[in-house]
C-alpha cells in the first residue's frame, strides 16, 4: 500500500508534471526518489506517457535526458527493465504483448509497484485483452 506522502506526491504530478521547467522536473525527480520506488516509477510514467498537448512542445531527447537523470537518483531491481521500456515508449515504439506479459510476471513479485505495472500495461497495443486478467490479478494481490 502507498503511504500518505506518496499519495500526495502522486496527486501532485498526475497530469501536472512541469515538462517545460527543467529545474522543477529535477526537483520532482529527487523528491520522488526520497519517497519511494513507486513514486519514482510515477515520474518515469509521466515521462513516457506524456499528454499529447505537451508532446508537441517537448522533444524526445529532452524526455530521455530527464529519464537518465531519474535513473541516477534511485536503485531498484526493476529499474533497468522499466527504464528500457520507458525509453522505447518515449521513442514511439510499442512492445510485443507476450514480452510485456513476461515483464508483468516479474513486476508481480515487487508488491506495490503500481506505476511500474502501469508503464508496462501501456507499452503495447493489447487489442485482444491478453494482459487484462494478469493486470487485474496483480492489482488485487497487492491491494489485499
Query: What does pTM read for this prediction?
Result: 0.95
Contact 101, 120 (CB under 8 A): no
> What are the tens digits of pLDDT across the range 74-119?
999 999 999 999 999 999 999 999 999 999 999 999 999 999 999 9
Q: Output the average pLDDT for the chain.
A: 96
Neighbour count for residue 23 (Cβ, 10 Å): 8
Long-range contacts of 30-34 (CB under 8 A, 24+ apart): 30/73, 32/70, 32/73, 32/74, 33/70, 33/73, 33/74
Whose grid coordinates read 519511494? 36
| Whole-angstrom distance, CA of residue 95 vs CA of residue 99 | 7
| Whole-angstrom distance, CA of residue 80 vs CA of residue 90 | 15
CA nearest 6: which of 114, 119, 95? 114
Amino acid at each position: 500500500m502507498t503511504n500518505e506522502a506518496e499519495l500526495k506526491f502522486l496527486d501532485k504530478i498526475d497530469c501536472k508534471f512541469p515538462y517545460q521547467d527543467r529545474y522543477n522536473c529535477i526537483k520532482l525527480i529527487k523528491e520522488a526518489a526520497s519517497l519511494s520506488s513507486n513514486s519514482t516509477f510515477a515520474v518515469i510514467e509521466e515521462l513516457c506517457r506524456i499528454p499529447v498537448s505537451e508532446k508537441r512542445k517537448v522533444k524526445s531527447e529532452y524526455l530521455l535526458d530527464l529519464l537518465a537523470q531519474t535513473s541516477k537518483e534511485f536503485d531498484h531491481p526493476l529499474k533497468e527493465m522499466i527504464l528500457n521500456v520507458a525509453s522505447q515508449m518515449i521513442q514511439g515504439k510499442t512492445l510485443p504483448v507476450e514480452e510485456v506479459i513476461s515483464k508483468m510476471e516479474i513486476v508481480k513479485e515487487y508488491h506495490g509497484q503500481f506505476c511500474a505495472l502501469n508503464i508496462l500495461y501501456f507499452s503495447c497495443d493489447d487489442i485482444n485483452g491478453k494482459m487484462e486478467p494478469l493486470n487485474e490479478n496483480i492489482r488485487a494481490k497487492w491491494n489485499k
